[in-house]
């Protein structure tokens, strides 16, 4: 009986740890986990390199129709806010994390959509460690973080995302 209780507690402990592992660092108010991945040119870029700015971490892929549809909207937001001052950071950056698996299609999408914000990918598709850290279940997925890396909002799109970013504009 004691052995059965011990085994049950061990199994529960592992399952509970797995649940916590999926949410730690990805809830509003938490610090976003660091991301360090290669850019198309091969240099590794860290999420922390945008420290001090309001940052949209955008998880997307070339094969994801809603992601592709969203790229012109993101381009407009980037142009609108990239040099703005915010209460939660100075300037706006989009940190695009591609879940693609082929470099040529990823780079082709960057070129096709004229994406001029940060783009990174390890080209490991859903096997990417970043997909696990951020508990990605579907695309597109995004997080808005402040200049200190604290998550302010998650999975907002279109007008809802624009309104959320505008909330933090520094009024002079």
Q: Are 89 and 54 in contact (CB under 8 A)?
A: yes
Taking the C-alpha atoms of residue 127 and residue 30, their distance in angstroms, rounded to an integer, is 24
pLDDT at residue 19 tops 70: no
The 3-class secondary structure across 2-41, one letter per residue, is: HHHHHHHHHHHHHHHHHHHHHHCCCCCCCECCCCEEECCC
Q: Given a cut of 50, is residue 20 above it in pLDDT? A: no
- Compute the distance between CA of residue 65 and CA of residue 140 in angstroms, rounded to an integer: 9
Determine if residue 151 is left, alpha or beta; phi over 0 gives left, psi from -120 to 50 gives alpha, anything else beta. beta
Tell me what pLDDT residue 29 has: 95
Q: Which residue has the tokens 């360090």?
A: 36
The CA distance from 149 to 121, in Å, is 20
**Other C-beta atoms lying within 10 Å of the C-beta of residue 106:** 22
CATH of 27-166, one of 3.65.10.10, 3.40.30.10, 3.40.50.150, 3.30.2130.10: 3.40.30.10
Tens-digit pLDDT profile for residues 83-136? 999 998 899 999 999 999 999 999 999 999 999 999 999 999 999 999 999 999
Distance CA 162, CA 81 (A): 10
Res 15: pLDDT:
40
């Amino acid at each position: 009986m004691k052995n059965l209780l011990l085994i049950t507690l061990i199994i529960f402990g592992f399952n509970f740890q797995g649940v916590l592992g999926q949410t730690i660092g990805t809830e509003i108010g938490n610090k976003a986990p660091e991301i360090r991945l290669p850019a198309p040119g091969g240099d590794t870029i860290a999420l922390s390199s945008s420290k001090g700015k309001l940052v949209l971490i955008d998880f997307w892929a070339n094969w994801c129709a809603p992601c592709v549809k969203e790229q012109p909207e993101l381009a407009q937001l980037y142009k609108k806010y990239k040099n703005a001052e915010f209460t939660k950071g100075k300037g706006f950056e989009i940190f695009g994390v591609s879940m693609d698996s082929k470099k040529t299609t990823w780079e082709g999408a960057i070129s096709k959509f004229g994406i001029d914000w940060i783009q990174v990918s390890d080209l490991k598709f859903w096997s990417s460690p970043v997909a696990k850290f951020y508990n990605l279940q579907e695309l597109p997925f995004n997080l808005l973080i402040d200049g200190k890396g604290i998550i302010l909002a998650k999975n907002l799109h279109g007008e809802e995302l624009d309104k959320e970013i505008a909330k933090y504009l520094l009024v002079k």
